[in-house]
Amino acid sequence: MGRLACIDIGTVTARLAVADVEGGRVVRLAKHSEICNLGEGVDATGRLRQEAMERVFACARGYVASAREAGALAVCCTLTSAARDAENARELGAALDSLGLDSLIIPGEVEGSLTFLGVAQDFPGRRILVADNGGGSTELACGSLSQDGTLDLSFVRSIDVGCRRVTEKFLSRGELPSEEDLAAAHAFAAEGFAPAVAEGGLAAAGAPGAADDAPEVLVVCGGTVTSLVAIDKRLEPYDSSRVHLASLSRERVDELEALLAGLTVEERAALPGLQPKRAPVMLGGAVAISELMTQTGFASLTASESDLLFGLALAADATLRRADSPVIWKPTMRPLS
């Protein structure tokens, strides 16, 4: 059994997982997260702000120390949507390299595949649609994981619809969004999702126009959906065991969106179950998830915490064992001494 560490730096949240992997399976995984808002302003400027990079650097430095203290043998580091969009992302990469991290900006399709690999562990033999709703993008992946662990992915696509991107485009002009702003946000999300749903045959089984091999279950991961579940259940403190694999109906998602739309950012921050730092982008994420459900025709979703970090741990373990990667991509591992 090997203990390894994975750091994922997203548009809103930077996260660390320390995982024990045995026989190609994660047997234990401890996660830590910190909202660093790396992608603040990137949609408008195409650049990472200096203060945002400094927040991420400080967080990553702490993560490396924590991973070493936890006994991890090696560490990998990935960056996603904000870094993909920013012309000065190399500046952050150089800073992270000074911490002993070989930071990799991964394509959206790799991000989606890794997330699917992690999520699908809970749904062996079932055809599922996985949506990783992040800050700058949503990765859609459809396929199945066989009982023997073989991954069959028929469609993977990264769509530039995420909670921070939607917020900065449409929902940050006033304390309370207008009906026009909300309508524009939904239209933007619909325009992003609809072509992928049609191309990938992602409509829910039983929905009008569904393909013969239509997905049976919509599984959503990311901070927005786990926060929606936590708000719905009024979880204080947060309890991952009550969030992982919990269901939300489309009607309930829309009700929670309406609740958020009727509150100021300060009022949202006081909601039981919501991290205060996530309050500014929470409505944008709810809009994206609601519109995804509308476009695919799913009446309910299942929330998952077995996300990108879970899949990244499996790929990292394969790299350390010099085995074939389950997603035909390998992270670069750096030893921790």
Domain 122-303 adopts which CATH fold? Nucleotidyltransferase; domain 5 (3.30.420)
Query: Looking at residue 263, what DSSP letter applies?
Result: S
Taking residues 204-211, report their average pLDDT.
89
Structure-token pair, residue 285? 């994420």
* Per-residue pLDDT reduced to its tens digit, 67-78: 999 999 999 999
pLDDT at 1: 57
Q: Which phi and psi angles does 121 have, rounded to 5°?
A: -60, -25
Would you mind telling me the total number of residues written for the chain in this entry?
337
**CA pair distance 141, 301, nearest whole angstrom:** 15
Distances (CA, A) of 320 to 193, 221, 229, 309, 334: 36, 27, 36, 16, 10
In whole numbers, what is the pLDDT of the chain averaged over residues? 94
C-alpha closest to that of 103 among 307, 285, 332, 288: 332
Whether residue 40 has pLDDT greater than 60:
yes
Taking residues 302-327, report their average pLDDT.
92
Grouping H, G, I as helix, E, B as strand and the rest as coil, residue 48 is coil
Split at pLDDT 50, 70, 90, the class of 232 is very high
pLDDT at 134: 95
Query: Looking at residue 270, what DSSP letter applies?
Result: T
> Of residues 146 and 2, which shows the higher confidence score?
146
**CA pair distance 64, 77, nearest whole angstrom:** 10
Distances (CA, A) of 330 to 104, 172, 290, 318: 10, 38, 33, 8
Split at pLDDT 50, 70, 90, the class of 146 is confident
CB 277 within 8 A of CB 244: no
Domain 2-106+321-335 adopts which CATH fold? Nucleotidyltransferase; domain 5 (3.30.420)
Taking residues 208-214, report their average pLDDT.
88
**CA pair distance 54, 274, nearest whole angstrom:** 25
Beta bridge partners of 300: 249
Taking residues 291-304, report their average pLDDT.
98
pLDDT at 172: 84
pTM given for the model: 0.95
pLDDT at 80: 95
Strand extents, DSSP E, the chain: 2-9, 13-22, 25-35, 74-79, 103-105, 128-133, 138-145, 151-159, 217-221, 247-249, 300-303, 334-335
Domain 2-106+321-335 and domain 122-303 have a common topology: yes
Taking each helix axis from N to C end, the angle separating 179-200 and 163-170, rounded to the nearest 10 degrees, works out to 140
Instruction: Please report, for the chain, the start and end positions of each structural domain, with discontinuous segments joined by +.
Output: 2-106+321-335, 122-303
